[in-house]
Amino acid sequence: MTYSQADVLSAFDHFERNWGELQRSRHAACTMCLTEFSPQEVTKLYRFEEGIAYEQPLSGALGTDTARCPKCDLPYVVGDAELPVTTPGYLNAVHKHWHT
Ligand SMILES: [Zn+2]
């Protein structure tokens, strides 16, 4: 399995409002610190309202809330439901494109 440049570019669209997508994923990762984890390890979320990020507890979370990395706390988490997260090289390519 390989990934395309389009997969790298589209990762940006999955950083926010991804809680529903993560619940459909078996594997997740942070594109900032490159830690890989199970979606169940995500315990902190943001809810964005009018451009402001509010802390959102898991209870009452909506599919449109945004996951935060269990290690570095940042909202740059992706899941394998729609992205080739487990493909070798993909996370590094996303990191390089969007975070450097
Ligand atoms: Zn992280």
- Express each pLDDT in 47-61 by its tens digit: 999 989 999 999 999
**CB under 5 Å of ion ligand 1: residues:** 30, 32-33, 69, 71-72
Give how far Cα 8 sits from Cα of 12, 24, 56, Å.
Answer: 8, 20, 28
What is the chain's percent helix, strand, coil content, to nearest 5?
Answer: 30, 20, 50
**Residue 15: per-residue pLDDT:** 98
CA of 73 from ligand 1 middle (Å) equals 6
d(CA 7, CA 50): 28
By the 8 A CB rule, do 74 and 65 touch?
no
Span 4-48, pLDDT tens digits: 999 999 999 999 999 999 999 999 999 999 999 999 999 999 999
CA of 81 from ligand 1 middle (Å) equals 19
| Tokens standing for residue 62 | 């909506």
